[in-house]
Amino acid sequence: MEFLDGRRMGAEQEEGFGVEARRVTDLGMVPTLRQSNSSLHRSRRHLCPYIDKQENLSSWIPKYIMKKECVYFVESSKLSDAGKVVCECGYTREQHLEVATKPHTFQGKEWDPKKHVEEMPTDAFGDIVFTGLSQKAGKYVRVSQDTSPCMIYQLMTQHWGLDAPNLLISVTGGAKNFNMKLRLKSIFRRGLVKVAQTTGAWIITGGSHTGVMKQVGEAVRDFSLSSSCKEGEVITIGVATWGTIHNREALIHPVGGFPAEYIMDEEGQGNLTCLDSNHSHFILVDDGTHGQYGVEIPLRTSLEKFISQQTKERGGVAIKIPIVCVVLEGGPGTLHTIYNAITNGTPCVIVEGSGRVADVIAQVAALPISEITISLIQQKLSIFFQEVFETFTENRIVEWTKKIQDIVRRRQLLTIFREGKDGQQDVDVAILQALLKASRSQDHSGHENWDHQLKLAVAWNRVDIARSEIFTDEWQWKPADLHPMMTAALISNKPEFVRLFLENGVRLKEFVTWDTLLCLYENLEPSCLFHSKLQKVLAEEHERLACASAAPRLCMHHVAQVLRELLGDSTQLLYPRPRYSDRPRLSLSMSHIKFNPQGVSLRSLYKRSTDHVTFTIDPVRDLLIWAIIQNRQELAGIIWAQSQDCIAAALASSKILKELSKEEEDTDSSEEMLALADEFEHRAIGVFTECYRKDEERAQKLLVRVSEAWGKATCLQLALEAKDMKFVSHGGIQAFLTKVWWGQLSVDNSLWQVILCMLAFPLLFTGLISFREKRLQALCRPARIRAFFNAPVVIFHLNILSYFAFLCLFAYVLMVDFQPSPSWCEYLIYLWLFSLVCEETRQLFYDPDGCGLKKMAFLYFSDFWNKLDVGAILLFIVGLTCRLIPVTLYPGRIILSLDFIMFCLRLMHIFTVSKTLGPKIIIVKRMMKDVFFFLFLLAVWVVSFGVAKQAILIHNESRVDWIFRGVVYHSYLTIFGQIPTYIDGVNFSMDQCSPNGTDPYKPKCPESDWTGQTPAFPEWLTVTLLCLYLLFANILLLNLLIAMFNYTFQEVQEHTDQIWKFQRHDLIEEYHGRPPAPPPLILFSHLQLLIKRIVLKIPAKRHKQLKNKLEKNEEAALLCWELYLKENYLQNQQHQHKQRPEQKIQDISEKVDTMVSLLDMDRVKRSGSMEQRLISLEEQVSQTARALHWIVTTLKESGFGSEAGVLTMASQRAFDEPDAELNIRRKAEEPGDGYHVNARHLLYPNARIMRFPVPNEKVPWEAEFLIYDPPFYTAEKSVALTDPVGDTAEPLSKISYNVVDGPTDRRSFHGVYVVQYGLPLNPMGRTGLRGRGSLNWFGPNHTLQPVITRWKRNQGGAICRKSVRKMLEVLVMKQSDSEHWALPGGPREPGEMLPRKLKQVLRQEFWVPFETLLVQGTEVYKGYVDDPRNTDNAWIETVAVSIHFQGQNDVELKRLEENLHTHDPKESTCGLKISTEWQVVDSRIPLYTNHKTILQKVASLFGAHF
């Protein structure tokens, strides 16, 4: 990665103090935090043309992407590799355009690429496949070197379909093949691909099949071969020079290559290079030349910079795309790349052991700057650049030393990856740690800094990095600070981070608010089925509110409507329609229901006043529902583990998932939903099992407890709605149902005892029947009779006896006593049937849950047996009507006879309660479906054979009834052996048929001869058809039916018990709420109910045995008990998971891998330990030598001994000689270099002037530096009072130094400075540049820095403290085009006391009072300022004065605030360009470095926090 040398400083700040080098921020290129990547082009319409989505790639690329072509052939003195004449551009005459070889207006001039190379529409783009390789097709495009990075980024994201990266990894290093240790190579490849794959990063390289690019390509190849498709593709982008690519002619396709076949020919490539086949995308940079390397560097640099300035937002959290540079090996170009990267604030990871530049930097990275000398760098270069070391000039070594010093000086941006050292194991961890380390060094307050690091970790989805680097003892996270990131983790589906945040104190009750829920539902996945349902609800409401102009906003009651559809109408709305005065709502219009993640700022959500935040009833429920509807398995499991009402939550989740799976069109998603529903059902079973084992009675209370959180439904209701048969068939639930079935009777009673007491109820007083309650044990209590006859088991058997009596009486009337006028028995049947009608009506209108008539009717008719009852009753009414009419008496009897069959079928439902017959009835019901399917197949054969037979045998049969007999009836009977006698002509007889079909009781005769006695149809054909028909119908289809019955039986038999137990509940519930008297005596009960409901207005209520609303204290205790047992269940599940053989094998495998890794590292650790001991010994010897030297010197100075007797001490350099391992022992830089640093930056601000490199040791003027030859630079100034421009002696000779020269004070605070050759010398030493640069004066340029402070106070007026120390606030200002805040000071006009900048922020009437404050202030610093604008002959000196306001009611403070020009820096007013602000004094305040130094002195003066 090469960064532009022309690094700009922003607007010129000559008056300012401490201008720092910083990166350019093109305000037009940076989208706001609320902009999505999809709308990026709209925010920069002035930079990038609008792209219609309908335009295809073939038409768009040639329109906006250009290439470069040489249009003027100038013969070069050099020949091509093939010995041909070439142009100065490197191409042969044949490779030029025709116009380039003709006489031209440029003829006779030298070849100039700026004039003789023109842009044209590109002719190389599309898909690229590598011949002979099976890799997936990549993308490529040939672009001009002047192409806008915005255009390329737009091409990649919008046309190539790449998602914006979460991280940009720029890999740089050696362009030639180099050798790496196998282990280091393996670690690098694995780590690089892992960080790219886990974080969603882009890897950018040079794209060729050589050097470091080849290493990256092979790493991607190895990952692709070993990974599954679900892991995703690693995006590897190669930015290469078009003119250096071998076989590039194959890529030229004017209309696009789809695909273009590229041949890798390494043997014949010569001085060119081949593209690497393992890269996924190629950007081929063209400058119109051939064979020129490095053309791509400026465009690659600008592209990387542009991408790093983009903001990616997901889950409501926006971060700028971070960038990191990874360095392997490399030469001078790599060093320049690292230097530019560090200067621009890009963190770099240096892989030690890869060779050359990487190893040189790694060897000196831990040393103090003072120890990184020219001799040391020369020594390292001789070791790592042995082959080319002789070519290094002295100037080059000095330049390398200066660059390496500047690189190492910013250690926070430099990370050295050492194999097996410093606890580092993987490159991916080193890369992410480098980014976090760089983030910590940024000028943010503590919270903002850690918050930014956490944003990065969440964006990368690296919870391991968050645990090890962020959630440490170094920073104590407040739960509220984690709320925005918790929302982002939920939206982005990062369950591990959700678990991490919960472990670190996030409380869901405080986290989940109405606004949070709205934000979550706004960010549903567009592919989510629930999303489309919500849209449908909103659209329907919009249609209902047709008069309203605005679209309806998303509210939680819309969500509740959809949830009620999924949970069933037995539950109430989970989120009732709010009253508008209840709480504030987010203004989310329907347009946002496209679920744009950028619709709401998460940080703003959690900065609302707590007075206006309303929390939900059950936050765990709300989050669980949100996760369930998106089928997020792991996230739902984590949230469910936090729930209190966990059984109901699991059953409700199962219900929602099963309902969604029915409507889900994607088969895979539907199966995943069903699997997750089954998992939640098992969780409900597991927790209930724990509860039931602990306490049966409390567990059964959980079943019928009304859950307010789940729409006032019970666990049992939810399980029945979800058809969770496994849960309902649980032993504990069946025991509860049995208990309900027996009412107040003991379940130990035998059935014969119950029937005997039914027939003779006085036996109840004999003790034959036992009761559960003690109060009913007394033999003479009348309550025993009521308890006995109210038991559902007794009601059921009474109804069975009544129903059998009804059927017997009905059969008797039909067969024996069916008179023209009804007998008393028949009237009794009518009464009996009327009581049945009343009972069915009661069941239809029985609504204890308040669902409404429509819902109750739907539930009633959804039951098959109710449909059968209604059908039987309606058929009876029809038959009765016909029976009462004398003319239709007989048809009425027929209808009643058929109705009797339907009443008999009703017995099957009665027997479902039987443990023996119930499962068999279920099997019969399932087999009936098989029969209907079989009949469809059979009908095909019956009709086809019947029609063919009838057409062959009978001519023109006109009687419909005989046609039906011949086609269907006779064919059907043939299956059972009744073969027609005349079909083969053997038993042909004219007596058995009617020749003309006139006899209604005989069939028409078959075809016969003229005599009418011999059949004329082909007997062989009819017999053949008969045989085939019997073969398929009798043998094939009947055996198929038997096989289907067998399969159904085996399939259902396994689950019959569950199905029977599940359906048993319906029967128990039916008879639990049924009146005790059997028909027809039940009419008295119906009369009583009628009086209750209509006259007394008493509503229906469900019996407490099936739905019980507990008191709050009792419910809270029950839920706490359930929560405790849920934790036991989860622990048992975790233990069982660890005991599984597969898990044990995996654990053993991980332990073996760890052991192998430790063994591999043992050798390195041993050698490292020995080296450390040697280093320690050398250090001790060195200290001893210094001590002895001091003793000898002291003794000699005291007159002891003689010169001859003094031992010669070893040279100190012998002990301090740098060593590769000695460098590692230095972990921290010395407090300061002792020399100016900013004044020696190689690139001078706001000018393309490079300083002469000056290493630390050559800064003092006294140090010999023979090759020192700095350039001269003096900028032209628009200011009237300034020193002359140029380096001639005559105009400069008029300047007087070290005195007050007219209006200019040229005296230095550091005393008299040296004047050499008519120019002053910087008292702090060399800077690498002569002249006055962009400063106004030669010599010192004086400035004044007022430091205006006050105490930071809370709302109560008390002074805030941090770490016991008081906290200060300082007044700072900022220019609209600057990134940093600054103190309100700078240079002063001649004769003025206040700086120009300060005058701009103060009203004129306050200038004089402020001068008084300055005079009364305390001087905290006076002297030299290390500024990047300083030169050898001009520098800045300042005086810093502290002005502190002690009290908050200080009159002068109030006057100051009243006279300040207030301006929001985020606003762009055209008049005022400087804004002011009070900021807390802290070490991370975003000020210039020199200003921070002054602030630190002020803080020390007042004993305040810094």
Split at pLDDT 50, 70, 90, the class of 1462 is: low
With 50 as the cut, is the pLDDT of residue 333 above it? yes
How much is the pLDDT for 400? 94
Chain segment 67-96, per-residue pLDDT in tens: 999 988 888 888 887 788 899 899 988 888
Chain segment 817-868, per-residue pLDDT in tens: 888 888 999 999 999 999 999 988 888 887 766 677 777 787 788 888 888 9
Does 762 sit behind a cis peptide bond, omega within 30 degrees of 0 on the bond before it?
no
Whole-angstrom Cα distance, residue 1483 to residue 963?
104
Give which of 621, 537, 533, 532 is closest to 577, Cα–Cα.
Answer: 537
Chain segment 642-664, per-residue pLDDT in tens: 998 999 999 999 999 999 999 99
Which amino acid is it at 661?
S
How much is the pLDDT for 1467? 46
How wide is the angle at C-alpha 1248 spanned by C-alphas 1246 and 1252, nearest 5°? 110
> Cα separations (Å) of 1317 from 1069, 1292, 1314, 1321?
111, 10, 10, 10
Give which of 444, 506, 512 is closest to 480, Cα–Cα.
Answer: 506
Which amino acid is it at 212?
V
Give which of 589, 603, 563, 406 is closest to 1235, Cα–Cα.
Answer: 406
To which residue do tokens 């905290």 refer?
1420
Q: Tally the C-alpha atoms within 13 A of residue 860's C-alpha that lie toward its C-beta.
A: 18
Question: Which pairs count as long-range contacts for 997-1001, CB under 8 Å and 24+ apart, including other chains?
Answer: 997/957, 997/958, 997/959, 997/962, 1000/959
Whole-angstrom Cα distance, residue 150 to residue 65?
11
C-beta of residue 1321 within 8 angstroms of C-beta of residue 1315 = yes
Alpha helices, DSSP H, located in 1263-1406: 1289-1292, 1396-1401
Whole-angstrom Cα distance, residue 460 to residue 302?
24
Whole-angstrom Cα distance, residue 417 to residue 430?
6
> Which tokens sit at 1439?
């005086």
> Cα separations (Å) of 603 from 454, 459, 471, 1486?
14, 16, 20, 21
Whole-angstrom Cα distance, residue 1478 to residue 1370?
5
Pairing verdict, β 235-241 and 167-173:
unpaired
- For residues 1093 and 345, the model is more confident at 345
Q: Span 1404-1427, mean pLDDT?
A: 90
Would you call 1332 exposed, middle or buried from its count of C-beta atoms within 10 A (0-12, 13-18, 19+)?
Answer: buried
Q: Span 405-421, mean pLDDT?
A: 86
With 70 as the cut, is the pLDDT of residue 52 above it? no
With 80 as the cut, is the pLDDT of residue 1270 above it? yes
Residues 584-595 as b or e (16 or more Cβ within 10 Å = b): eebebebebbeb
Q: Span 299-309, mean pLDDT?
A: 91
Whole-angstrom Cα distance, residue 1466 to residue 1374?
11
Whole-angstrom Cα distance, residue 823 to residue 818?
8
Average pLDDT, the chain: 82
Residue by residue, DSSP assigns 49-62 as ----TTS-HHHHHH
Split at pLDDT 50, 70, 90, the class of 1233 is: low
Give which of 1482, 1368, 1342, 1326 is closest to 1422, Cα–Cα.
Answer: 1342
Residues 390-414 as b or e (16 or more Cβ within 10 Å = b): eebeeeebbbbbbbbbbbbbebbbb
Would you call 1239 exposed, middle or buried from its count of C-beta atoms within 10 A (0-12, 13-18, 19+)?
Answer: buried
Q: Span 48-71, mean pLDDT?
A: 73
C-beta of residue 1464 within 8 angstroms of C-beta of residue 1475 = yes
For residue 1309, give every residue at least 6 positions away whose Cβ sits within 8 Å of its Cβ, in sequence order, or none.
Answer: 1340, 1422, 1423, 1424, 1437
How much is the pLDDT for 1048? 82
Does 1003 sit behind a cis peptide bond, omega within 30 degrees of 0 on the bond before it?
no
Q: In the chain, what percentage of residues exceed pLDDT 90?
A: 33
Pick from 229-233, 932-936, 1172-1176, 1349-1353: least confident:
229-233
Q: Span 421-429, mean pLDDT?
A: 67
For residue 160, give every residue at least 6 positions away whose Cβ sits within 8 Å of its Cβ, in sequence order, or none.
Answer: 139, 281
C-beta of residue 407 within 8 angstroms of C-beta of residue 339 = yes
Would you call 1183 exposed, middle or buried from its count of C-beta atoms within 10 A (0-12, 13-18, 19+)?
Answer: exposed
Would you call 347 exposed, middle or buried from its count of C-beta atoms within 10 A (0-12, 13-18, 19+)?
Answer: buried
How much is the pLDDT for 929? 82
Residue 1074 gets which letter from DSSP? Answer: S
Pick from 65-69, 301-305, 316-320, 1108-1112: least confident:
316-320
Chain segment 521-537, per-residue pLDDT in tens: 988 988 899 999 999 98
How much is the pLDDT for 593? 35
How much is the pLDDT for 13? 35
How much is the pLDDT for 1272? 92
With 50 as the cut, is the pLDDT of residue 585 above it? no
With 90 as the cut, is the pLDDT of residue 48 above it? no
With 80 as the cut, is the pLDDT of residue 1457 above it? yes
Alpha helices, DSSP H, located in 1091-1229: 1112-1139, 1141-1197, 1212-1216
For residue 1237, give every residue at least 6 positions away whose Cβ sits within 8 Å of its Cβ, in sequence order, or none.
Answer: 409, 1426
Chain segment 448-482, per-residue pLDDT in tens: 677 888 888 888 888 888 888 888 877 778 888 88
Give which of 985, 953, 984, 975 is closest to 966, Cα–Cα.
Answer: 953
For residue 399, give every residue at least 6 positions away whose Cβ sits within 8 Å of its Cβ, in sequence order, or none.
Answer: 1253
C-beta of residue 374 within 8 angstroms of C-beta of residue 382 = no
Q: Span 761-772, mean pLDDT?
A: 80
How much is the pLDDT for 153? 95
Whole-angstrom Cα distance, residue 1198 to residue 1206?
13
How wide is the angle at C-alpha 369 spanned by C-alphas 364 and 373, nearest 5°? 70
CA 580 to chain CA mean position, Å: 33
C-beta of residue 22 within 8 angstroms of C-beta of residue 9 = yes
Pick from 418-432, 1179-1193, 1328-1342, 1408-1422: least confident:
418-432
Give which of 278, 264, 271, 295 is closest to 142, Cα–Cα.
Answer: 295
How much is the pLDDT for 1026? 84
- For residues 636 and 23, the model is more confident at 636
CA 123 to chain CA mean position, Å: 38
Pick from 160-169, 314-323, 585-594: least confident:
585-594
With 70 as the cut, is the pLDDT of residue 172 above it? yes
Chain segment 667-693, per-residue pLDDT in tens: 889 999 999 999 999 999 999 999 999
Question: Which pairs count as long-range contacts for 749-757, CB under 8 Å and 24+ apart, including other chains?
Answer: 754/793, 754/794, 754/797, 755/797, 757/788
How much is the pLDDT for 927? 85
How much is the pLDDT for 10? 35
How much is the pLDDT for 1448? 78
How much is the pLDDT for 994? 80
> Which tokens sit at 1237?
């640093």
Q: In the chain, what percentage of residues exceed pLDDT 70?
A: 84
How much is the pLDDT for 694? 93
How much is the pLDDT for 424? 54
C-beta of residue 1254 within 8 angstroms of C-beta of residue 1327 = yes
C-beta of residue 643 within 8 angstroms of C-beta of residue 628 = no
How much is the pLDDT for 15? 36
How much is the pLDDT for 1268? 94
Residue 163 gets which letter from DSSP? Answer: P
Q: Span 1406-1417, mean pLDDT?
A: 89
How much is the pLDDT for 306? 93
